[in-house]
Chain A
Amino acid sequence: MSEDPPTAPAVEASALTVQLGERTVLEQVTFAIPTAAVLAVVGPNGSGKTTLLKALLGLVKPASGRVLVLGTSPERLQPGSIGYVPQIKTLDRTFPGTSIDLVVSGLRRRWPWRIGDSERTRALAALRLVGAEQLADQPIAELSGGELQRVYLSRAAARDPRLIMLDEPATGIDMVGEETIYRFIDACHRSGTATVVIVTHDLSVAFHHATHVLLLNRRAIGFGPPRVVLSEDSLGRAYGHAEHRPAGRLGAGPYD
Chain B
Amino acid sequence: MIEALDQPFIQRALAAGILVGALGSYFGVFVVQRGLSFLGDGLAHAAFGGVALGLLLGMEPLWVAVPFTVAVALGISWVRERTRLGADTAIGIFFSVSVALGVVFLSMTGRYTADAFTFLFGSILAVSEADLLVMSLVALATALGWRLWGRWAYATFDRELALADHLPVVRDDYFLTAYIAVAIVVGVKLVGIILITAFLVIPAATAHLFARSFTGMTVLAESLSVTSSLVGLALSYQLDIPSGATIILVQAASFFASMALTRVVRHP
A: which residues have CB within 8 A of B?
A: 57-59, 75, 79, 82, 84, 86, 90-92, 94-98, 101-102, 105, 108-114, 139
Cβ B163 vs Cβ A59 within 8 A: yes
Tally of A-B residue pairs with Cβ under 8 A?
A: 73
Q: Which residues of B contact A111 (CB under 8 A)?
A: 149-151, 153-154, 156-157, 214
| Inter-subunit contact A113/B215 (CB<8 Å) | yes
10 closest residue pairs by CB, A with B: A110-B150, A111-B153, A96-B211, A111-B154, A79-B165, A109-B165, A57-B164, A79-B166, A111-B150, A110-B154
CA of A110 to CA of B214 in the docked complex: distance in angstroms?
Answer: 12
B160 and A86 contacting across the interface, CB-CB below 8 Å = yes
> Are the C-beta atoms of A95 and B164 separated by less than 8 Å?
no
- A139–B216 Cα distance when bound, in Å, is 12
> Which of B153, B158, B166, B208: most chain A CB closer than 10 A?
B166
Say yes or no: A90-B160 contact (C-beta < 8 A), given A96-B208, A110-B150, A110-B154: yes
What residues of chain A lie closer than 8 Å to B151, measured between beta carbons?
A: 110-111
Contact of A139 among B33, B166, B212 (CB under 8 A): B212
Which residues of chain A are near B211, meaning CB under 8 Å? 96
Give CA–CA (A86, B153) in the complex, Å.
Answer: 18
CA gap between A98 and B151 in the complex, in Å: 17
Which chain B positions have C-beta within 8 A of A113? 149-150, 215
Give the residues in chain B near A97, CB-CB below 8 Å.
157, 213-214
Does B241 have its Cβ within 8 Å of any Cβ on chain A?
no
B residues in contact with A112, CB < 8 Å: 150, 215
Which residues, 176 to 217 on B, are CB-close (under 8 Å) to A? 208, 211-217
Assess whether A109 is in contact with B154, with CB atoms less than 8 Å apart.
yes
List residues of chain B with CB within 8 A of the CB of A91: 158
Residues of B within 8 A of A82 (CB): 164
Decide: B157 and A105 in contact? CB cutoff 8 A.
Answer: yes
Report which of A58, A75, A84, A110 forms a contact with B153, defined as CB distance below 8 A.
Answer: A110
B33 to A, closest residue via Cβ: A95
Given contacts A58-B164, A82-B164, A86-B158, contact A98 B150 (CB under 8 A): no
Residues in A whose Cβ lies below 8 Å from that of B215: 112-114
A86-B161 contact given A58-B166, A96-B213, CB 8 Å threshold: yes
Asked whether A109 lies within 8 Å of B214 as measured between CB atoms, the reply is: no
A-B contact pairs, 29 of them (CB 8 A): A57-B164, A58-B166, A59-B160, A59-B164, A79-B164, A79-B165, A84-B161, A84-B164, A86-B158, A90-B158, A91-B158, A92-B157, A95-B156, A95-B157, A96-B208, A96-B212, A97-B157, A97-B214, A101-B213, A105-B161, A108-B150, A109-B165, A110-B154, A110-B167, A111-B157, A113-B149, A113-B150, A113-B215, A114-B215
| Other contacts beyond A75-B166, A112-B150: 9, CB < 8 A | A57-B163, A84-B161, A92-B156, A92-B158, A95-B157, A96-B208, A97-B157, A105-B161, A110-B167
A108 to B161, CA, bound (A): 12
